[in-house]
């Protein structure tokens, strides 16, 4: 029985025509299947390589150095990565929004003398009530409170309290420092 099945295999292999004998359509089909196989193998190899750098993959190589707490790179994305680029883009966007907020306060706020302190560019301080600022700024952005907190952290504005709430803090004064 073993010889019989072996002879069948040989016969089947002999029945496969030479690729040169194929028609144009059949050759195109073989070429496209070969291309699909090569593309799939290429994707597989790239994916396997990427998984070596993925800290959540079981394929992670121990040779990848992960920064430890206290090192300068700890908590920061890899240099040149897409994550680093997205962080830089977000920082730029938020900085633009903080600048725009300061400009809005200059435009709608009341100016006054700052008592000799040279915080303002022309020696004046601009103040506005939070309610008025909220009503005006809501058409520009829906993130006013977050932008105010960021601007205060950068030393550009000041207000009392940790957070400003619409309605409750409408009469709180927001002061533009620079």
Q: How far apart are CA 22 and CA 31, in angstroms?
A: 12
Q: Report the Cα 51 to chain-centroid distance in Å.
A: 20
Give yes or no for a contact between 60 and 54, defined as CB atoms under 8 angstroms apart.
yes
Q: How far apart are CA 20 and CA 27, in angstroms?
A: 8
The phi, psi pair for 157, rounded to 5°, reads: -135, 165
Q: What average pLDDT does the chain have?
A: 79
The per-residue pLDDT for range 44-103, each reduced to its tens digit, is 999 988 888 777 877 655 555 677 888 887 888 888 889 999 999 999 999 999 999 999
| Domain ranges across the chain | 2-53, 82-176
The per-residue pLDDT for range 14-35, each reduced to its tens digit, is 555 555 555 555 555 556 788 8
Class of domain 82-176 as given by CATH: mainly alpha
Global pTM exceeds 0.75: no
Q: How far apart are CA 147 and CA 102, in angstroms?
A: 10
């Amino acid at each position: 029985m073993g010889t019989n099945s072996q002879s069948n295999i040989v016969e089947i292999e002999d029945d496969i025509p030479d690729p040169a004998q194929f028609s144009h359509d059949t050759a195109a089909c073989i070429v496209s299947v070969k291309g699909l196989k090569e593309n799939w193998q290429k994707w597989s190899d790239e994916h396997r390589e990427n998984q070596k750098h993925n800290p959540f993959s079981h394929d992670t190589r121990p040779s990848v150095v992960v920064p430890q707490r206290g090192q300068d790179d700890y908590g920061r994305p890899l240099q040149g990565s897409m994550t680093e680029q997205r962080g830089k883009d977000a920082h730029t966007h938020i900085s633009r929004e903080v600048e725009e907020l300061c400009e809005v306060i200059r435009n709608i706020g009341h100016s006054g003398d700052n008592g000799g302190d040279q915080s303002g560019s022309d020696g004046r301080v601009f103040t506005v009530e939070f309610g008025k600022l909220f009503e005006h700024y809501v058409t520009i952005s829906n993130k006013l409170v977050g932008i105010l907190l960021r601007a205060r952290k950068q030393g550009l504005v000041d207000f009392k309290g940790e957070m400003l709430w619409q309605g409750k803090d409408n009469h709180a004064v927001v002061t533009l420092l620079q």
